[in-house]
Amino acid sequence: METVKDRFLRYVSFDTQSVATCASQPSSEKQLVLMNLLVDELKMYGLSDAGVDEFGYVMATIPSNIDKETPVVGFLAHVDTSPDMSGANIKPQTVENYNGENIVLNQSENIVLDVDVFPELKNYCGQTLITTDGTTLLGADDKAGVAEIMHTVQYLYYHPEFKHGVIKIGFTVDEEIGRGTDKFDVEKFGADYAYTVDGGMLGELEFENFNAASASISIRGKNIHPGYAKNKMLNAMLIAMEFNALLPSEKRPEFTEGYEGFYHLTAMNGTVEMAELQYIIRDHDRKKMEQMKKYLQNCINFINLRYGENIAELNITDSYSNMKEQIEPHFHIVEIARKAMEKENIIPLIKPIRGGTDGARLSYMGLPCPNIFTGGHNFHGKYEFIPVESMEKACKVILNIIELFCR
């Protein structure tokens, strides 16, 4: 049997970065390279129905080997990596028997995993860590989840004595750009309940996430020769800065935690004539989320009142909703995951996701789908790392969930 560590290292060698500016699905053809490999491996492990559809999704079934009906449980992970940092030519570094001290990722660039900045490192003394080389992300989000699910499939293939009901396996594309389930066929997938294996550190168990929206602000200026601009020019860039200053500074991501929502300026560009601002808006409470959107409109109204009608324009697009509303009527699936962790002496860390997963949207599509840990830390950047032992425990938790669904 291939170890989950070796499988993970093999999968991260594939560049699967999604591309937000591309409208096709999948947004990058390179995601399909790994998807086709996964189909081949699933078939090798006896999942004869494994296939990749026209949108890049992989689905497969492990048939039941017991003589009673049980709920059909699914496990999902996404293959794409974040556009935030390069996912090409990843050169993972393995730190065995970690000693609790700083880890030099890249000596020439003086890039260091500093225990003062990342104190959680000390929780993994004596373990084996996989890190980046300081020039790319690692891809544990979510190739760790992919590897852990595939390791479970491999285990069940080589251990037919392990009793289980029908199990569904799913791999998605474009999760990192918010399109992970846009064309996912829940009915075809055929699970009653599912889990995304897409969480962070050991023990994370999540059934709440942000309500999410994106906001686009356009500011129209008036460009006049600066030598003759008095009482005539409207500088769209300066008005855009004024608009941003109207937003409460305490509601920025860097000043929030837990259930606190935020406005996050993600992009800006402009000239005197035209400026554009892009924000993402997040809050766990639906009412507060609506108030935040209303506040943006009030700021737009203020700008237009001050500088003239239609100077500023706001467009808001809802992205996903808090899956808590859909999970709570089926809360036993959270309890099953909790018991599966406790069976491995893992303390469940039940907390809200300060983000979203495919499971959030799947839950609103009729497939209740909480999220469990992969073991990774510091996703989307060069400081990403994952302990091998956490990946191994994630595999055991998945097996425990399968077993508990048979009871």
235: Cα within 13 Å, side-chain hemisphere: 8
Token pair of 201, please? 């550190």
**Of 241, 142, 203, residue with least CA distance to 396:** 203
Q: Would you give the DSSP letter of residue 84?
A: T
Residue 357 and residue 353: Cα distance in Å, rounded? 9
Bridge partner residues of 196 (DSSP): 76, 371
Do 46 and 117 form a contact (C-beta atoms < 8 A)? no
Q: Is the sign of the CA dihedral 291, 293, 294, 299 positive or negative? A: positive
- The torsion angles phi and psi of 276, rounded to 5 degrees, stand at -135, 140
Do 24 and 17 form a contact (C-beta atoms < 8 A)? no
Residue 261 and residue 256: Cα distance in Å, rounded? 7
Token pair of 295, please? 């506040």
Residue 377 and residue 205: Cα distance in Å, rounded? 15
32: Cα within 13 Å, side-chain hemisphere: 12
**Of 310, 283, 279, residue with least CA distance to 209:** 283
User: Which residue is catalytic, options 15, 80, 142, 148?
Assistant: 80
Measure Cα distances from 126 to 199, 347, 389 in Å.
23, 19, 10
Token pair of 238, please? 């300066």
Q: Would you give the DSSP letter of residue 72?
A: -
Residue 208 and residue 323: Cα distance in Å, rounded? 6
Burial annotation 201-223 (CB, 10 A radius, 16+ → b, else e) = bbbbbbbbbbbbbbbebbbbbee
- Look up 175 and say whether it is catalytic: yes
Mapped onto helix, strand or coil, the DSSP state of residue 95 is strand
Based on C-alpha coordinates, what's the Rg of the chain?
Answer: 23
User: Which residue is catalytic, options 142, 148, 174, 175?
Assistant: 175
Residue 278 and residue 174: Cα distance in Å, rounded? 20
User: Strands 193-199 and 371-373: what pairing?
Assistant: parallel
Token pair of 32, please? 């399909």
Q: Annotated active-site positions, please?
A: 80, 175
